[in-house]
Chain A
Amino acid sequence: MAVKIVFLGPLRDAAGTDSLEVPAPLDWEGLLAAVAPDLAEQLESARVHVACAGEVLADKTALEARDGDEVALLPPVSGG
């Protein structure tokens, strides 16, 4: 099993893919290391939120993704 990282909106273009599988467990440092440097830089922006297993994290640096979890990288929404 692994952790699936899902790229949404403009981050999908930046990543060049919809998703990425990485070994579990995955913490914040691991996440930053798993993506390209320019994406890691965007992730550190306060405007990008992170969800794990369907919950948006209040503190994304506290990420603790386990086997089977999906981690979603959420850029600012553009509204419905």
Chain B
Amino acid sequence: MATRSRCSLRSAVARLVLERPADVRLLEKGLSVGEALAAFNAAHERAGAIASFLGKVRPGEDVKALELTHYEPLTLPGMEALAEQALERFALDGVLAWHRVGTMQPGEGIVLVAAAARHRRAAFDAVDFLMDHLKSAAWFWKRERRGNHSDGGWHWIEPRDDDHAALARWTGDET
């Protein structure tokens, strides 16, 4: 994963300028929610509604760390294509989809999705649509380190049936 291109990993920087209408990023470290949403809000000043969703590493359940790996040639282009689908499908001013990769601790943010629209329904629906697709159709592989010892084992996470069921909600009039 060495090539630097538009697919390069980027990290959040101060005075964010977002790409419009879709700002899609893979982040190697940190996911600054407040900064992202402030910049998103500023980028879509004509929107009447902004909905957002933050997915986090679930605390408890004996999970000590979560590692997300991706495949650079597919993962970011796939997320960009998904953002385009959302823009076509819903009446939106813009979307934001930021995803962490690498190792995270319980409580840390993994994914932030936001949608700006004239009216709330399109914003809510677009965020729901984006998350259902990111959860089951994006190129990410996840494993958890469990146990109380530093040598606790890593376990790969299998796709969940309810994630696929969630995705199926959107496939009635497409694919």
Interface residues of A (CB under 8 A from B): 6, 8-10, 13, 51, 54, 56, 70, 72, 74-80
Contact = CB atoms under 8 A, between A and B. Distances in A.
A6 B73 CA distance: 11
Given A10-B141, A75-B141, A80 B99 contact: yes
B148 to A, nearest CB: 23
A72 B55 CA distance: 28
B140 A77 contact: yes
* Majority secondary structure of chain B interface residues (helix, strand, loop or mixed): mixed
A80 B51 CA distance: 19
Q: How large is the interface on B (under 10, 10 to 19, 20 to 34, 35 or more residues)?
A: 20 to 34
B165 interface: no
Contacts of B141: 8-10, 75, 77-78
Nearest to B167: A79
Contacts, number: 63
A2 B88 CA distance: 40
Contacts of B87: none
Contact of B139 (A6, A13, A77): A77
B26 to A, nearest CB: 10
Interface stretch (B30-38, B115-123, B153-161): B153-161
21 contacts: A8-B69, A10-B143, A54-B73, A72-B71, A72-B74, A74-B71, A77-B137, A77-B140, A77-B159, A78-B141, A78-B142, A78-B158, A79-B135, A79-B140, A79-B142, A79-B157, A79-B160, A80-B55, A80-B99, A80-B134, A80-B135
